[in-house]
Structure 1
Amino acid sequence: MTAVPRRRMVPAYLATGGRARPGTDGFERLTVLFPTATDRPPELVELEAEHRRLWELLRPGALTVVEAAAHLRLPVSATVFLAADLVEAGCLHARAPIPRAQQTDRSLVERLLVGLRTLR
């Protein structure tokens, strides 16, 4: 019989400290999180182990909230709270997701293609 790997389950209400809303508005699933210029760990007393895990995860580079949640095996909603706390503490930066590009007008592309063909 193969052993099923056990993962640590952290209830969302524990990771969020029982709060209903994060302190920073505007966080979405695709908000990009990246570390500040300083390479020092957060020294704030109120930061829990989950905050430190998120900060350590983002030290090498940027991830979206969804990607960070997957790595931490936490719900996205709980990861939003953790990220908001770290942004407020000055340990992380958050950037809004890049908006979807508008669809290109097909007639413009066809005229461009015709123009390129006439250059031959």
Structure 2
Amino acid sequence: MPAPQDGPLLDDAAGRLIRPYTVSNGRTRPTTVLDLLSLVMATGSDPQVHLGPEHTVALELCDGPTSVAEIAAHLRLPAVITKVLLSDLVDCGAVTAHAPAFHDMPTDRSLLEAVLDGLRRQL
């Protein structure tokens, strides 16, 4: 039997082979305040601590400013688990995180309509 890091994280037929909370060692609270719209970006420094494969994939997704929601979708993990992984990366200096800048109100009708339009085009 291969070591866990050698095997696939996802299996097309069976789905996720590792329980999401196993990825975060059962932690459900990130040490960094993040919301779904928080933008994270790699700093370019290598983490000095051992990280799991999900941490590595998340770090690779942070080449440019990327939202927590996008990373969670790519990892196929719940948002709370993704926040824990990203806060680990923030804590070790591998990524930075900040709230997105809204030029208008974040609930501006035109912004919400643009998001809805984009979602409809994806479906």
User: TM-score when scaled to structure 2?
Assistant: 0.67
Match of 1:86 in 2: 89
**Contact 1:42 1:52 (8 Å CA) reproduced:** no
In the alignment, which residue of structure 2 is the partner of 1:95?
98
Give the superposition deviation at 1:81: 0.3
Segments of structure 1 that go 5 or more residues without pairing to the other structure are: 104-120
Task: Report Cα offsets for 1:100-119 as digits up to 9, x if no partner.
Answer: 6146xxxxxxxxxxxxxxxx
Q: Higher relative CO (CA 8 A, sep ≥ 6), structure 1 or 2?
A: 1
Offset at residue 9 of structure 1 (A)? 4.3
The residue aligned with 1:44 is 49
Shift, 1:44, TM fit: 1.4
Q: Which runs of 5+ in 2 are unaligned?
A: 1-11, 109-123
Partners in 2 of 1:49 and 1:43 — Cα distance? Answer: 15
Q: Deviations over 1:9-56 (max 9, x none)?
A: 4322112211231112x21011001111x2x543412x1111111011
**How many residue pairs align between the two structures?**
95
Aligned counterpart for 2:57 among listed residues 42, 53, 57: 53
SS in 1 for 2:29: coil
Task: Report the Cα offset of residue 92 of structure 1.
Answer: 0.2
Question: Quick check: which has more Rg, 1 or 2?
Answer: 1
In 2, are the aligned partners of 1:10 and 1:74 still within 8 Å (CA)?
no
Q: Read off the aligned partner of 2:49 and give its amino acid letter.
A: L
Of all paired residues, the percent bearing the same amino acid is: 36
User: Who is 2:23 aligned against?
Assistant: 15
Alignment correspondent of 1:64: 67
